Structure 1
Amino acid sequence: MDKIGDLIKQLRIERKMTLKQVSEKTGLSISFLSQVELSKSSITLQSLSKISDALGVSRSYFFTEQYQPTEIFRSKNESEINFRKSNFTYQSLSGNVSNPVFEPMFVILLPDKENVTINTHGGQEFVYVLEGTLTVLIGETETELENGDSFHIDSSKPHTWFNRTSEPVKLLYVYSH
């Protein structure tokens, strides 16, 4: 499937969940979830993370067509990047490991003009900035990270990260469930 909204709806139905139940688990409005499923609204990285957790799948579930799972990942196998009406793209780097303890991903964030929301969820996150300037908000502390900077947090701590600049930000994102 080419649309994240279609995948979300299909997975929600397979899980026998209503929009209301997903809304309660994510804190996202029923209206917003419906608009995403109908591909009438773009989705942010933070919202996709909340939906992934609520539906019990990894974030890479929505981007499986971007790589061929194997134990070895070669960058020259990278397919064309498609942002699909969103401000980011993921590319899983974990291959075909079943039930991974953590998941490494390559992420490109386009400039984000939307309001960002603070998140909390289970697990941990590690982000390493490869290119650009990433704005990170942990608790009430805002920090700008440049090439080579990183952070590692317990994801139950209120946090978010986004691209406030006019250029794409490329990063390595590793999270545990």
Structure 2
Amino acid sequence: MDEQIKQIAERLRGLREVLELTQEEIARDCELSLTEYTQSESGDYDISISMLQKVARKYNIALEALMFGEEPKMSSYFVTRAGTGISIERTKAYKYQSLAAGFINRSADPFIVTVEPKDEKEPIQHNSHNGQEFNFILEGSMLLWIAGKELILNEGDSIFFDSKLPHGMKALNNTTLRFLAVIM
């Protein structure tokens, strides 16, 4: 996981240097705090998918270019066979498997997200990003916090929400959570 985070940080720095921008300009343009951006670029901190998506959308580059160092090439269709999507472990608790990494100019980013259970007392990490999000629970149970409301979603449940609202989640019942997340 640490090596993957460092590689993403290097790609963020490289993008900034190619665009000849300062850290302050990227943070401002992407509506991020300077601290969040500089920590992400350092490679010593977890980097949220929502932060990467803000940067990718603002500078019109593929999310996969930042996450995986690969550019999508397909424009008609892209098949992801079971268990083969490009994946990244942001932390020991979160794994994102991209289901459309090879499709260029797509309007949504679908992932299978695997979340390992954490200490019940550990606070939920919150984020927000432009657009909308759809989550469908494949296995386990999720505590989803959206703008002050706590919702419990179980296998087979789904939710569609405005992802500009602060939101965060965690696995419940000391079991692994797997869900389909589509970020639009």
TM normalised by structure 1 equals: 0.75
**Match for residue 38 of structure 2 among 26, 29, 34:** 34
CA RMSD of aligned residues (A): 3.2
Instruction: Give yes or no for contact 1:136–1:160 (8 Å, CA) kept in 2.
Output: yes
Q: 1:68 to 1:24 in 2, by over 3 A?
A: closer
**Identical aligned pairs, as a percentage?**
23
The Cα of 1:96 is off from its aligned counterpart by 2.9
Distance in structure 2 (CA, Å) of the matches to 1:95 and 1:163: 25
The one-character-per-residue Cα deviations of 1:35-76 (angstroms, maximum 9, x if unpaired) are 3222122223444444444444454330356x9977221124
Amino acid paired to 2:134:
F
Paired position in structure 2 for 1:161 = 168
The Cα of 1:111 is off from its aligned counterpart by 4.3
Q: 1:74 to 1:167 in 2, by over 3 A?
A: same
Instruction: Give yes or no for contact 2:64–2:101 (8 Å, CA) kept in 1.
Output: no
Does 2:138 match 1:124?
no
| Alignment length (residue pairs) | 172
Q: 1:155 to 1:7 in 2, by over 3 A?
A: same
Paired position in structure 2 for 1:71 = 78
The Cα of 1:164 is off from its aligned counterpart by 5.1
Paired position in structure 2 for 1:60 = 64
The one-character-per-residue Cα deviations of 1:67-117 (angstroms, maximum 9, x if unpaired) are 9977221124357x5525564232221253221122221122344645523
Q: 1:107 to 1:57 in 2, by over 3 A?
A: farther
Paired position in structure 2 for 1:142 = 150
Distance in structure 2 (CA, Å) of the matches to 1:15 and 1:4: 17
Does 2:111 match 1:105?
yes
**Match for residue 95 of structure 2 among 83, 89, 99:** 89
- Name structure 1 gaps, 5 residues minimum: none
Q: 1:97 to 1:47 in 2, by over 3 A?
A: closer
Instruction: Give yes or no for contact 1:124–1:154 (8 Å, CA) kept in 2.
Output: yes
**Match for residue 18 of structure 1 among 14, 17, 22:** 22
TM normalised by structure 2 equals: 0.72
The alignment partner of 1:75 has SS state of: coil
Amino acid paired to 1:89:
K
Distance in structure 2 (CA, Å) of the matches to 1:98 and 1:17: 25
